[in-house]
Amino acid sequence: MSARDDIFANIRRSLGVNGSETIRRQIVEDRLERAPKGVIPKRGQVSGEERLALFKTMVETSLATVTEVSSPAEVPQAIALFLRNHNLPATLRMGEDLRLKAMPWSDTSLEITYGPSEGRDLNAVSHAFGGIAESGTLALVSGPENPSTLNFLPDNHIIVVSAKDIASDYESVWNRVRFAYGKGSMPRTVNWITGPSRSGDIEQTLLLGAHGPRRLHVVVVCD
Amino acid sequence: MTVHSTSPQFKQNAARALKDGQLQKALGNVKQGFIDKRRMAADKLPEFESLRDSARDIKNHTLEHLDLYLEAYEEKVQASGGHVHFARDAQEARDIILAICREAGAKTVTKGKSMISEEIEINRHLEANGIRPVETDLGEYIIQLRGELPSHIIAPAVHLNATQVEQDFRRVHTHLDAKRDLSEPVQLLTEARAVLRERFLAADVGITGANFLVAETGTSIIVTNEGNGDLTQILPKTHIVLASIEKIVPTLEDASQLLRVLARSATGQEISVYTTFSTGPRRSADADGPENYHVVLIDNGRSSMLGTSFEEMLRCIRCGACMNHCPVYHAVGGHAYGWVYPGPMGAVLTPSLIGVDQAGHLPNASTFCGRCESVCPVRIPLPKLMRHWREREFERHLTPATVRSGLRFWGFFAKRPALYRLATRAAMATLGFMGRQRGRFTWLPLAKGWTKYRDFPAPQGETFQARWQRERKGRAA
């Protein structure tokens, strides 16, 4: 008997089932289909200005920084300012995201390169799929538009998110993922990012910049 | 199968731990940090208690339908271009992993933190076959340099102080300037980051665990604060996920419920910095990510726990809250438990996985104070399960003769209430009289093992039963 068959047989023996019970199959199919939400904290269930304010507060709680601009055209200047304020080189790597590419980068003196990171980039920018106000989390999806390596290898990660994509809770983001990729399908990677990289492994003292970015800066576009 | 465990020597391990000054100093960090942080996180979320109920119910539901959710999960992984392998035990898992590594021509394998990888001792096996495993979680990296097991399931190096880490880094990182300053923890972190960055970029295979597997989508989920798990899985050509079969949850919504209680219970964070949902290998248009995606589903004793009273243990999401709140863990640390899983969850799980004959001491190392159960995010009745192990141990005559005769002695009196009352009354009156001045004993006959490390509080001279009767009479009058 293969390991697989053996394991299934043992599970079924222990549970006292044979695996073909219609009721059990119906229950499982139903749950996978309906995906009940469970308990959703009230905290995030606000809208408009209030939701944006909560998102920003939670982003800051996670030790990231956040700034707000009123149109995509202002994003390059905001990023240049962030880099200048931290004495960082005026370089920036990004993927093929059309929203980012359409921004007026020539307004700044930033040197832009494109593609995934191979470990030599200090600064990178990604466009988020969405944000989650409940916890100040950014949701990013992998792909040529926003390669996952940009989220982890550079020292300084900047994430641009549209205010209209900031949801109350994780569940709202899953609904959008299903709409974009089809029910039951996912991009290779969905990254939830909440603050810069950190470790508490030495004497339980919180230190920033473990393996991922030392700084996380969020630019919210309110247009 | 050979299991490398010192659980049978728990008593000697514990005695050594109590005398270990470095360990005792480091354990102070557990008592201070984790408890307050968890409480603050729980207090900030009014729905926390109902989320714990929800988490428990999701796990129960999944375990009851585990065969069907595993089938659904397997189908989805394959549909996304990934491979699913099943391993009955540790040896089968090791063979599968080695074969994948060989096929990838691997020389170096980076690893994210994974308790199941400790359980199957994969590092030892890879090394024996000429492949270098590199732990990338800072704590795991430190203990790998020291050749130790993790002493905590989420803070593997919690038994160490910064000066010890400094010594290890100087011993191993010999390519660096011997005169460099490593007096601050942040300097240790920066050095580890630089050393491990090279390993990440050079690795041929990345191995991670999984906090959850999602049946709906065939997704594996890891949570980290460092980002090491992500660099482990997106840089090499091959990503191997190791997971025990009970990690399955039905949907992304169910995973989100569990994620809401996981970080809060573990570190007191609202959510970990990185929560990563991985589904299959890189897509045709992708610019990065692994080309091969394998999942090794490991049983190693779990399927036999289903349908028994220990099934509840399979709800465990490995947050570590039970050990963070355990007075026994605070006193002796994780290594004394002698195998992979320490603390209350280890005291219940270890006998299930390596046998109560090996690990019978662990469920006995409990004061039954109940704090573990009161903080468990999936409400596992840990004290009850430890008591079940004690009963099984007794039934199988594994309990030592002194304990058995002690129990028999107590049983003789317990079955004769009048005699019991008389004897306890006499004993309490004597102890109460003798200890009335200091209020405690630093030495007692037949109780040296207790009084060696702590004082025994002096009874007030009256038995509980006597006081109960007196107060009840008082109330009735």
- Residue B407 pLDDT: 86
User: If you measure CA to CA, which chain B residue comes closest to A94?
Assistant: B287
User: If you measure CA to CA, which chain B residue comes closest to A198?
Assistant: B226
> Is pLDDT above 90 for B283?
yes
In a domain, A39, yes or no: no
Q: What percent of chain B has pLDDT over 90?
A: 79
Q: Which residues of chain B are within 8 Å of residue A37 when distances are taken between CB atoms?
A: 253
User: Do A25 and A102 share a structural domain?
Assistant: no
Average pLDDT over residues B81-95: 98
Residues 41-100 of A with CB under 8 A from B: 41-43, 58, 61-62, 95-96
Q: Which residue has the higher pLDDT, B399 or A33?
A: A33
CATH topology of domain B7-303: Rossmann fold (3.40.50)
Which segment of B43-52, B160-169, B333-342, B416-425 scores lowest on mean pLDDT? B416-425
Model confidence at A78, pLDDT cuts 50, 70, 90, reads very high
Q: Which residues of chain A are within 8 Å of residue B162 when distances are taken between CB atoms?
A: 202-203
Q: B295-334, pLDDT tens digit by residue? A: 999 999 999 999 999 999 999 999 999 999 999 999 999 9
Q: B106-164, pLDDT tens digit by residue? A: 999 999 999 999 999 999 999 999 999 999 999 999 999 999 999 999 999 999 999 99
Average pLDDT, chain B: 94
Considering only the beta carbons, identify the residue of A116, A190, A201 that sits closest to B287.
Answer: A116
Q: Which residues of chain B are within 8 Å of residue A204 when distances are taken between CB atoms?
A: 29-30, 32-34, 155, 158
User: Do A115 and A83 share a structural domain?
Assistant: yes
User: Do A136 and A27 share a structural domain?
Assistant: no
User: Do A126 and A27 share a structural domain?
Assistant: no
Closest CA–CA distance from residue A15 to any residue of chain B (Å):
5
Q: Which residue has the higher pLDDT, B436 or A51?
A: A51
- Residue B28 pLDDT: 87
> Is pLDDT above 90 for B425?
no
Average pLDDT over residues B233-247: 98
Domain containing residue A12: 1-34
Q: B340-355, pLDDT tens digit by residue? A: 999 999 999 999 999 9
- As beta bridge partners, residue B292 has B238
What ipTM, to 2 d.p.? 0.98
- Cα(A29)–Cα(A183) distance, integer angstroms: 13
- Cα(B296)–Cα(A31) distance, integer angstroms: 25
What is the gyration radius of the CA atoms in chain A, in angstroms? 21
- Residue A37 pLDDT: 96
Average pLDDT over residues B84-104: 98
Please give the order of strands across the beta sheet that includes B108-111: B83-87, B292-298, B238-244, B205-208, B108-111, B132-135
In a domain, A40, yes or no: no
Model confidence at B2, pLDDT cuts 50, 70, 90, reads low
- As beta bridge partners, residue B456 has B441
In a domain, A132, yes or no: yes
Residues 68-107 of B with CB under 8 A from A: 68-72, 76, 80, 86-88, 92
Closest CA–CA distance from residue B11 to any residue of chain A (Å):
26
Q: Is the pTM of this model over 0.90?
A: yes
Q: What is the DSSP letter of B8?
A: G
**Which residue carries 């944000």 as its tokens?**
A131
Q: A120-154, pLDDT tens digit by residue? A: 899 999 999 999 999 999 999 999 999 999 999 99
User: Do A101 and A19 share a structural domain?
Assistant: no
User: Do A167 and A78 share a structural domain?
Assistant: yes
User: Do A173 and A119 share a structural domain?
Assistant: yes
> Is pLDDT above 60 for B379?
yes
Domain range list for chain B: 7-303, 417-476
- Cα(B112)–Cα(B208) distance, integer angstroms: 5
> Is pLDDT above 80 for B104?
yes
Q: Note whether A123 contacts B: Cβ–Cβ < 8 A.
A: no
Q: Which residues of chain B are within 8 Å of residue A137 when distances are taken between CB atoms?
A: 271, 275
Q: Which residues of chain A are within 8 Å of residue B87 when distances are taken between CB atoms?
A: 3
Burial of B40 (0-12, 13-18, 19+ CB in 10 A): exposed
Closest CA–CA distance from residue B434 to any residue of chain A (Å):
43
Model confidence at B477, pLDDT cuts 50, 70, 90, reads low
Model confidence at A89, pLDDT cuts 50, 70, 90, reads very high
> Is pLDDT above 70 for B251?
yes
Model confidence at B459, pLDDT cuts 50, 70, 90, reads confident
Q: Which residue has the higher pLDDT, B357 or B167?
A: B167
User: Do A54 and A23 share a structural domain?
Assistant: no
**Which residue carries 């309990």 as its tokens?**
B399
Q: Note whether A164 contacts B: Cβ–Cβ < 8 A.
A: no
E strand or H helix that includes residue B85: strand B83-87
Which segment of A206-210, B60-64, B434-438 scores lowest on mean pLDDT? B434-438
- Residue B449 pLDDT: 74
What letter represents residue A141's amino acid?
V
Domain at A151, CATH number: 3.40.50.10420
Three-class HEC string of B254-265:
HHHHHHHHHHHH
In a domain, A41, yes or no: no
User: Domain total for chain A?
Assistant: 2
User: If you measure CA to CA, which chain B residue comes closest to A44?
Assistant: B45
Model confidence at B396, pLDDT cuts 50, 70, 90, reads confident
Q: B4-39, pLDDT tens digit by residue? A: 899 999 999 999 999 999 999 999 888 878 999 999
Among A35, A24, A27, residue whose Cα is nearest residue A184: A35
Closest CA–CA distance from residue A61 to any residue of chain B (Å):
10
Average pLDDT over residues B348-372: 93
In a domain, A4, yes or no: yes
Q: Note whether B307 contacts A: Cβ–Cβ < 8 A.
A: yes
Q: How far apart, in Å, are the Cα atoms of A214 and each of A60, A98, A181, A189?
A: 15, 27, 32, 22
- Torsion sign across C-alpha atoms B27, B28, B33, B34: positive
User: Do A51 and A74 share a structural domain?
Assistant: yes
- Residue B445 pLDDT: 76
In a domain, A42, yes or no: no
